[in-house]
Amino acid sequence: MNGAHSLLATLTGNGVDVCFANPGTSEMHVVAALDQVAGLRCVLGLFEGVATGAADGYARMIGRPAATLLHLGPGLANGLSNLHNAMRAESPVVNVIGDHATYHRRYDAPLTSDVEGTARPFSHWVRTTPDAGSVAADAAAAIAAARTAPGRVASLIVPADAAWTPLAAVPSPAEAVVPAPPRVPDTAVGAAARILRSGQPAGAAIACPGRKVIALESDGSGMYMPQALWTHAREQLDILTIVFANRKYQILRHELSNVGATAGGPRAEALMDLGRPDIDWVSLARTFGIPAARAATADELARHVRAGLAAEGPSLIEAVL
């Protein structure tokens, strides 16, 4: 057993059984351990923001943390925007971030960075594990931090040598000790119960595989992370994505007027226009392996929505506005 084995055993032993990953070279021993430590489902995202966003959504739906597996400071940086969202939503997330071997940092390799400094503004808890013998206890501490009410983002940095170094003895199972949550007012409990009984659709198919997920997206923000569609297809997630395509950042055009700025000229308008060329969402979705259709009228949209709801697995509708 090495540090990577103890990391995975600690995650699964404390109820963290899903990991959204975009690993790199420093995480290879953790990747290898997946076939030797049972119980952790690892879902690949083509971009780190997909992994952190999926972990946020999973936690919101199921109420317990998912893990992410990210590569060094630059990989973590690619996922920070959705960790910001997780913090705002009080979602429990455990980030496992690989780093160079401790003795290699002094050589200032191309991807060397201050990983703790990068993680801290977007995490409630940050720690770098010093060696293989500390991995299990540090992982348990990260899980406990994430599960502290309300949910928190915990970031554990694991140097490569802490992952690959063999352990002299199998460590005792490390338990995440979570502080007792404060009492919730009865009025808040009643309000939450009414929301849960309302049957509102819910933006997390891995957490709740028996529920159809409808994702309402705009073409501008959708292009931040279209790689998520590939994960939808690979995992055959039951998600109907509806992209409202107006070919522009319309909210920014409104805001230009709202803040009293001078009416936009051609150069200002160019920064809010998504045409020339138009984004072909149907072709893009099919490239990622997802059935897709385009709706140019309300009747077409209704017909495609009915078909999407009746089908199993992922599908996409481009609603042209």
Summarize pLDDT for 187-213 with one digit per residue, the tens: 888 887 776 555 433 375 677 777 899
**154 lies in the same domain as 247:** no
Residue 93 is assigned to a structural domain of this protein: yes
Q: List Cβ neighbours of 61 (8 Å cut-off, separation of 6 or more).
A: 202, 204, 207, 208
Cβ(53)–Cβ(127) under 8 Å? no
* Edge-to-edge strand ranges of the sheet holding 125-128: 41-44, 18-21, 66-71, 93-99, 153-159, 125-128
**142 lies in the same domain as 217:** no
Residue-level pLDDT at 263: 67
Q: Is residue 142 predicted with pLDDT exceeding 90? A: yes
Cβ(141)–Cβ(94) under 8 Å? no
Amino acid at 44: L
Q: Is residue 214 predicted with pLDDT exceeding 60? A: yes
**20 lies in the same domain as 159:** yes
Mean pLDDT of 101-130: 96
**12 lies in the same domain as 138:** yes
Residue-level pLDDT at 158: 98
Residue 165, CA atoms < 13 Å, CB-side half-sphere:
18
Task: Quickly state the pLDDT bin for 259 (edges 50, 70, 90).
Answer: confident
Mean pLDDT of 232-241: 95
The token pair at 129 is: 């594990």
Across the chain, what does the average pLDDT equal?
A: 91
Residue-level pLDDT at 252: 86
**112 lies in the same domain as 15:** yes
**121 lies in the same domain as 219:** no
The token pair at 295 is: 């709706």
| 154: β partners | 94, 125
Report the range of poorest mean pLDDT among 46-50, 70-74, 86-90, 191-195. 191-195
Residue 264 is assigned to a structural domain of this protein: yes
Question: Which among 164, 190, 222 is the end of a domain?
Answer: 164
| 159: β partners | 99
Q: Could you read off the pLDDT of 4-14 as tens digits, one per residue?
A: 999 999 999 99
Residue 197 is assigned to a structural domain of this protein: no
Mean pLDDT of 272-278: 90
Residue-level pLDDT at 199: 44
For residue 68, the SS3 value is: strand
**8 lies in the same domain as 149:** yes
**260 lies in the same domain as 116:** no
**25 lies in the same domain as 113:** yes
Residue-level pLDDT at 204: 54
Residue 315 is assigned to a structural domain of this protein: yes
Q: Is residue 133 predicted with pLDDT exceeding 50? A: yes
Residue-level pLDDT at 191: 81
Residue 189 is assigned to a structural domain of this protein: no
Residue-level pLDDT at 209: 77
Q: Is residue 168 predicted with pLDDT exceeding 70? A: yes
Mean pLDDT of 162-177: 86
The token pair at 56 is: 């946020």
**142 lies in the same domain as 77:** yes
Total domains present in the chain? 2
Residue-level pLDDT at 201: 33
The token pair at 232 is: 């939808």
Q: List Cβ neighbours of 44 (8 Å cut-off, separation of 6 or more).
A: 21, 22, 231, 234
Question: Which among 164, 185, 201 is the end of a domain?
Answer: 164
Residue-level pLDDT at 147: 95
Residue-level pLDDT at 10: 96
For residue 117, the SS3 value is: helix
Q: List Cβ neighbours of 45 (8 Å cut-off, separation of 6 or more).
A: 20, 21, 22, 51, 54, 227, 228, 231
Residue 203 is assigned to a structural domain of this protein: no
Q: Is residue 318 predicted with pLDDT exceeding 50? A: yes
Q: Which of 128, 132, 130 lies closest to 115 in space, CA to CA? A: 128
Mean pLDDT of 153-160: 98
Q: Could you read off the pLDDT of 25-42 as tens digits, one per residue?
A: 999 999 999 999 999 999
Q: Is residue 253 predicted with pLDDT exceeding 60? A: yes
Residue 206 is assigned to a structural domain of this protein: no
Residue 200 is assigned to a structural domain of this protein: no
Residue-level pLDDT at 202: 31
Give pTM, 2 decimals. 0.86
**30 lies in the same domain as 151:** yes
CATH number at residue 45: 3.40.50.970
Q: Which domain holds residue 279?
A: 213-320
**312 lies in the same domain as 242:** yes
Question: Which among 142, 164, 186 is the end of a domain?
Answer: 164
Q: Which of 187, 114, 116 lies closest to 154 in space, CA to CA? A: 116
